[in-house]
Structure 1
Amino acid sequence: MATVKFLDRHLRLIIISLATIGIIDTATITLGHWGWIVSVTCNSSNQGCEKALQSAWGFVFGQPLSLFGLLAYSMILLSTVISIVLPKTRNMRIHSWNRRGTFFVSLIMANFTLLLMSLLVFKIQVFCFFCLLSGTLSIALLLLNAMRTPKDEYDQLIFDSTLMSLLVSTVGLIWAITVDLSSTDYSRQPIGISPAIVRMSTPSKIALAEFLSNSDTTLYSVYWCPHCHDQKELFGREAADRLRTIECGIEGENNQYSNCTKKGITGFPSWDFKNKLGHSTLQSGIKSLNQLAELSGYMKPCGIK
Structure 2
Amino acid sequence: MIALSAVGAVETAYLTYAKLFDAPVACPTNGCESVLASPYAQLFGLPLPLFGFLAYAAVGGLAAVAASQAKAGLSSDSRQPVLTALTAGVAALGTTSAVLMTILQTRLGGTPCAWCYLSATLSATLVVTLLSTFSGKQLKDSALGGAGAALATAALLFVGMPAGSSGSVYIDDDFQLEYKRPVVTTESSDRAVALAARLDAAGARMYGAFWCSHCYDQKQEFGSQAMADFPYVECFPNGWKKGEKMSPLCDTAGVQAFPTWVIGGKKIEGELTLTELEKELDKAAAAAQTEVAAVAP
Asked if the contact 2:40/2:162 (under 8 Å) is kept, the reply is no
The whole-number CA distance in structure 2 between the counterparts of 1:144 and 1:185 is 37
| Contact map agreement 2:9 2:53 (CA 8 A) in 1 | yes
Partner of 2:113: 128
Distance 1:82 1:174 in 2: 32
The answer to whether the Cα contact below 8 Å between 1:72 and 1:109 also exists between their aligned partners in 2 is yes
Give the residue type in structure 1 aligned to 2:238: E
Counterpart of 1:124 in 2: which secondary structure? Answer: coil
Q: Where does residue 223 of structure 2 map in the other structure?
A: none
Q: Aligned pair 1:65/2:52, yes or no?
A: no
Q: Aligned runs of 1:255-266 on 2, under 5 Å?
A: none
The match for 2:137 is 152
1:18 maps to which residue?
A: 4
Matched ranges for 1:222-261 at <5 A: 251=238
SS at match of 2:15: helix
1:40 aligns with 2:26: no
Secondary structure at 1:47's aligned position in 2? Answer: coil
Whether 1:31 aligns to 2:14 is: no
Q: Quickly say closer, same or farther: Cα 1:43–1:31, change in 2 above 3 A.
A: closer
Letter in 2 for 1:25: E
Which residue identity is paired with 2:95?
A: N
* Structure 1 residue 85 displacement after superposition: 3.2
Conservation of the 8 A alpha-carbon contact between 1:124 and 1:187: no
Match of 2:67 in 1: 84
Please name the residue that 1:281 is paired with.
Answer: none
Residues in 1 aligned to 2:25 and 2:138: alpha-carbon distance in whole angstroms? 48
Pairwise CA distance, 1:72: 0.7
Report the residue type matching 1:75 in the other structure: A
Higher RCO structure (Cα 8 Å, ≥6 apart): 1
How far did 1:49 drift? 0.9
Could you tell me which residue of structure 1 aligns to residue 36 of structure 2? 53
- Counterparts of 1:166-177 in structure 2, within 5 Å, are 166-176=151-161
TM-score (norm 1): 0.50
Residue identity (%): 21
Letter of the 1:98 partner, please give it: V
Q: Residue 29 and residue 44 in structure 1: after superposition, are their counterparts in 2 closer, same or farther (change >3 A)? A: closer
Q: Where does residue 106 of structure 1 map in the other structure?
A: 90
- Structure 2 vs 1, CA of residues 82 and 188 (structure 1 numbering), >3 Å: closer, same or farther? same
TM-score by length of 2: 0.51
Residue 174 of structure 1, CA deviation: 4.2
Deviation at 1:175, TM superposition (A): 4.0
Gaps of 5+ in 1: 1-14, 193-223, 225-248, 254-305
Deviation at 1:61, TM superposition (A): 2.8
* Whole-Å separation in 1 of the counterparts to 2:24 and 2:162: 30
Q: Deviations over 1:83-103 (max 9, x none)?
A: 233453247555221122111
1:59–1:65 CA contact under 8 A, matched in 2: yes
How many residues were matched structurally?
180
CA deviation string 1:249-269 (max 9, x = no partner): 95169xxxxxxxxxxxxxxxx
Matched, 1:116 2:100: yes
Instruction: Give, in whole Å, the separation in 2 of the partners of 1:150 and 1:252.
Output: 51
Report the Cα distance in structure 2 between the residues aligned to 1:23 and 1:74, rounded to whole angstroms.
6
Change (3 A) 1:66 1:149: same
Pick aligned residue for 1:96 from 80, 105, 125: 80
- The CA distance in 1 between the partners of 2:37 and 2:120, in whole Å, is 18
Aligned to 2:175: 188
Tell me the CA shift for residue 19 of structure 1. 1.1
**Secondary structure of 2:40's partner?**
coil
Name the structure 1 match of 2:125.
140
Q: Structure 1 residues 85, 111: closer, same or farther in 2, change over 3 A? A: same
CA 25–186 in structure 1, closer or farther in 2 if over 3 Å, else same: farther
Residues 51 and 186 of structure 1 are in contact (CA less than 8 Å); yes or no, is this contact kept in structure 2? no
- Spell out, residue by residue over 1:241-298, the C-alpha distance to the aligned partner (whole angstroms, 9 max, x if none): xxxxxxxx95169xxxxxxxxxxxxxxxxxxxxxxxxxxxxxxxxxxxxxxxxxxxxx
Tell me the C-alpha RMSD between the 2 structures.
3.6
**Is the Cα contact below 8 Å between 1:111 and 1:165 reproduced in 2?**
yes
Could you list the per-position Cα deviations for residues 101-150 of structure 1 after superposition, in whole angstroms to 9, with x for gaps in the alignment?
Answer: 11110101101111111111010121101001101111111121122322
Distance 1:40 1:94 in 2: 45
- Within 1, Cα distance between the matches of 2:237 and 2:26? 13
Query: 1:57, 1:179 within 8 Å by CA — same for their partners in 2?
Result: no
